[in-house]
Structure 1
Amino acid sequence: MQKPTRPMPAGPSRRSFLTRSAAAGGMTLLGGAGIGEAMAAGDDNLPPNIPEWMQYLGEGVTAHPYGVPSAFEKDVVRRNVGWLTATEESSINFTPIQDLDGIITPNGLCFERHHGGVPVIDPERHRLMIHGLVDRPLIFTMDELMRFPSVSRIHFLECPANGGMEWKGAQMDGVQFSHGMVHCCEWTGVKLSTLLAEVGVQKAAKWLLAEGADAAAMTRSIPLAKAMDDIIVAYSQNGERIRPENGYPLRLLVPGWEGNVNIKWLRRIKLGDQPWHHREETSKYTDLMPDGKARQFTFVQEANSVITSPCPEKPMKFGKGFYEIRGIAWSGYGKIRKVDVSIDGGMNWKTAELQSPVLSRALTRFRLPLQWDGRPMLLQSRATDESGYVQPTIEALRAARGLNSIYHKNSIHTWRVKPDGEVENVQIA
């Protein structure tokens, strides 16, 4: 059966009005196409015509009970680097930060880092055990955990290896791969301090060991002081239950600290008087220094920022004219206080506008208007957080930490914009 069509309005009034309006205006803001130009393009769906998708009914309300993105956004997905690890079960993929707006990362686009693949866990059979230097060792079901007073907070989560492939020089052709090991979500769960009050922490306890229920039995040592401060035992992410790849049904959320201590698929917490090393804890992330020594327990993710538009995936394809430089900044020390932007490789800086809300230990959006004259640019952003910490240059970071580490590479990043608007990853001192 032929699909019904919507008739055009009677008489010439609509088309003639639009044509006269366009002529009277003389020009359009930021280079938008005029009516005559749109008609000359030869697409019957362009204004002032009625497009085909207005001429028949679309899908009903139960066509996709959970909901899916538009088919036209099929390229906005997580991606991995095939040569990075031997297997995908112990690997990472990257958030498409170049395609996102706002500060909340959709659940299906949050980067993944696994050490033994994603376990399939029945929440009815999952348990959280808290033991060690406590007065009352307890085992909690999911239902019991959800009976406790809950909190919801927005925080970023970042792998300490984010940007780590760039220590010795520019390597990754795209912001998704150079900075995409970060996401920001609203997390809901129980404060860990609430659960620790339930079991009774003994005076000798100073550290805890958190263990996940994946095949790697991922474990990390965390100071008790952080646990009593702001750690959340989370079961929801952006309003729904945590996705399997992000820790379903239960995970730790450790605001502002290395992603690897945010144990997913949480099953056990043991309290002790010192950090665990070889016997119970799997290898912790360490930073290899120039003298051969290794820093350990470098928990805080320091202030970082990157321009997400323009970038290699988002070139300046309209040529000369107005653009808005956009990006994200974040810090494990608290709120972002300001972000400065340079178009000449750091010789001159302008302060960007911060988008509200500006939250502690969360992604912060920044914007700066630009009237581009078509000349080459070296784009950089530099974040300063509320503690006074300023994002360093790559030269300063190398002087302090050498070239042997892959962790905590938070230096100022540079995009080179070429006269044709294409953008490439470079590194300048």
Structure 2
Amino acid sequence: MTSPNDPSRRRFLTSSAIGGLTLVAGAGVGEAMAAGDDNLPPNVPEWMKTLGPGVTANPYGNPSAYEKNTIRRNVPWLTATEESSINFTPLHELDGIITPSGLCFERHHGGVPDIDPEQHRLMIHGLVDRPLIFTMADLMRFPSVSRIHFLECPANGGMEWKGAQMAGVQFSHGMVHCCEWTGVKLSTLLAEVGVKKSAKWILAEGADAAAMTRSIPLAKAMDDIIVCYSQNGERIRPENGYPLRLLVPGWEGNVNIKWLRRIKVGDQPWHHREETSKYTDLMPDGKARQFTFVQEANSVITSPCPEKPLKHGKGFYEIRGIAWSGYGRIKKVDISTDGGMNWRSAELQGPVLSRCLTRFRLPLQWDGRPLLLQSRAADDSGYVQPSIEALRKVRGFNSIYHKNSIHTWRVRPDGEVENVQIA
């Protein structure tokens, strides 16, 4: 811990880069009041002079009205209708690793169904000994688990395969969130129905208008998949799958079926009409990869970014960001301020969990010169986040999914931040 008498700490606290409190204290009471705000010291602010609303005025609770801009946003031109579209998490406004339930990005294929949990059922059938239908009450009687994991759409960043396009981190990387999920392990339910020896895959189906379905290997189902009914300590929000969804840690978001109603056990993946179209990766030779389930290591700097410029001028700042990997834990994040010529190791902020967002930070003493900010993550499997040039050598320019390359923000001398792409 830094001592209160540490010279470096004193220099930090007295630096003009901190602005606010230092400037007011240095200017004197008269100058502070001249700013036209009667709520500033030494005055008693107006909110201390009257009683506020009572304890039941807002039974559920809402964010402060002063945080009204911390919301999900969509891109109107991205899809034809909102019922089959996506919105984005405001990563630049968040701290820690838990994404509030109301800010988790949404991806729908047929809009959000309004499901009565009393009438909702989960069917498990196919290559099983005892096909069963579970009510929500049935499911909640099984032993429960809680896990913190990220969930990411494989198209996150996909609009930038051919070049920088989106004007902020919310739109370049906002198809990811991280929550605490609670439910029953799928392996527990599969043990209840008895899986036949010939089984190798499951088909999961949602209760939305699209009847969204995905094939998932049985090995993953028996490993760490959770059939979830709660998110961040409360029942899952409707847009995130109420009353029941799959959580498939570290894998493509589209296999995390929302509004889960059916699981069919089989001996091969489904390629006929019973499964909706899979997400595939178009390769340079015209072939397409499928079943590219794992979301590989990725990272992005969330401050500074286009939405969070260096608006206080020269001085001290902290570079902050997030990293994640579907292979496991983030082991290291390096940061470059010169477009990848030189790198420094960032500090990882605990907790560092498997298949979970990890916060990183690095001090920056900015002298006003232009910067090219990049972050590069490595996980405990040995995977290192690639450059866009390295990714294109393997995948080409025509893909949409799994763009996890190193991202670049350009900081201009005026402190504004732009999205750029350098090889």
TM-score, L = length of structure 2: 0.95
Q: Is the alpha carbon distance of 1:131 and 1:314 closer, same or farther for their aligned partners in structure 2, counting shifts above 3 Å?
A: same
Aligned with residue 135 of structure 1, among 129, 135, 150: 129
- For 2:23, the aligned partner's letter is A
- Counterpart of 1:208? 202
Corresponding residue number in structure 1 for 2:236: 242
The letter for the 2-side match of 1:337 is K
CA contact (8 A) 2:299 2:377 kept: yes
Q: Which residue is 1:147 aligned to?
A: 141
Deviation at 1:188, TM superposition (A): 0.1
SS at match of 1:146: helix
Q: Tell me if the contact between 2:17 and 2:313 (Cα under 8 Å) persists in the aligned partners.
A: no
Corresponding residue for 1:261?
255
- Distance between the aligned counterparts of 1:99 and 1:326, measured in 2? 12
Secondary structure class of the residue paired with 2:32: helix
Aligned-residue offset at 1:278: 2.0
Unpaired runs of 5+ residues, structure 1, are 1-24
The corresponding residue for 1:334 is: 328
Q: Give 1:29 shift.
A: 7.3
- C-alpha change, 1:379 and 1:121, in structure 2 (3 Å) is same
Q: Which residue of 2 aligns with 1:34?
A: 24
Q: Deviations over 1:145-165 (max 9, x none)?
A: 000000000000000000000
Contact 2:17 2:315 (8 Å CA) reproduced: no
What is the aligned partner in structure 2 of residue 48 from structure 1?
42
2:57 to 41, 63, 69: 63
- Structure-2 separation of matches of 1:182 and 1:63: 33
Contact persistence 2:391–2:405 (CA under 8 A): yes
Question: 1:106 is matched with which residue?
Answer: 100
Shift of 1:42: 2.4
Please provide the CA RMSD for this pair: 1.1
Instruction: Give, in whole Å, the separation in 1 of the partners of 2:228 and 2:23.
Output: 49
The residue type paired with residue 320 of structure 2 is R
Which amino acid is the alignment partner of residue 50 of structure 1?
Answer: V
Do residues 81 (structure 1) and 75 (structure 2) align?
A: yes
Q: Distance between the aligned counterparts of 2:14 and 2:122, measured in 1?
A: 68
Code of the aligned partner of 1:225: A
Look up the match of 2:7: none
Following superposition, the deviation at residue 26 of structure 1 comes to 7.9
Q: Deviations over 1:52-75 (max 9, x none)?
A: 111111111111100000000000
Name which of 413, 419, 422 aligns with 1:425: 419
Change (3 A) 1:26 1:207: closer
The offset of 1:319, in angstroms, is 0.5
> Kindly tell me: are residues 29 and 372 of structure 1, through their superposed partners in 2, closer, same or farther at Cα, counting changes over 3 Å?
closer
Structure 1 residue runs of 4+, over 3 Å off? 25-29
CA contact (8 A) 2:245 2:260 kept: yes
**How high is the TM-score relative to the length of structure 1?**
0.93
| Matched AA of 1:221 | S
Measured after TM superposition, the shift of residue 27 of structure 1 is 6.9
| Percent identity of equivalent pairs | 87
Bigger-Rg structure (1/2): 1
Structure 2: unaligned runs, 5 residues or longer:
1-12
* 3-state SS, counterpart of residue 280 of structure 1: coil
1:344-379 Cα offsets, whole Å, 9 max, x none, are: 000000000000000000000000000000000000
Whether the 8 Å contact between 1:375 and 1:418 is mirrored in structure 2 is yes
Aligned to 2:303: 309
Residue 390 (structure 1) aligns with: 384
Code of the residue aligned with 1:279 in structure 2: it is R
Out of 320, 339, 350, the residue aligned to residue 345 of structure 1 is 339
- Structure 2 distance, partners of 1:34, 1:143, is 59
Find the partner of 1:121 among 115, 125, 140: 115
Alignment size in residue pairs = 405
CA distance in 2, matches of 1:48, 1:26: 21
Paired residue for 1:370, among 355, 364, 368?
A: 364
Which residue is 2:352 aligned to?
A: 358
In the TM superposition, residue 40 of structure 1 has moved relative to its aligned partner by 3.2
Q: What do residues 260-303 of structure 1 show as CA deviations (whole Å, max 9, x unaligned)?
A: 00000000000000000122100000000000000000000000
C-alpha distance in 2 between matches for 1:27 and 1:246: 45
**Residue 295 and residue 373 in structure 1: after superposition, are their counterparts in 2 closer, same or farther (change >3 A)?**
same
How far off is 1:33 after superposition?
Answer: 2.2
- Contact 1:28–1:34 (CA under 8 A) maintained in structure 2: no
Q: Which amino acid aligns with 1:233?
A: V
In structure 2, distance between residues paired with 1:40 and 1:368: 37
SS of match in other structure, 1:89: helix
Bigger mean CA offset, 334-343 vs 47-56:
47-56
**1:191 has 2:185 as partner:** yes
What is the SS of the residue equivalent to 2:141?
A: coil
- Match of 2:24, as an amino acid? G
Compute the displacement of 1:41 (Å): 1.4
Say whether 1:164 aligns with 2:158.
Answer: yes
**2:16, 2:315 within 8 Å by CA — same for their partners in 1?**
no
Instruction: Give the distance between the partners of 1:354 and 1:60, measured in 2 at CA.
Output: 40
Is the contact made by 2:335 and 2:343 (CA closer than 8 Å) also made in structure 1? yes
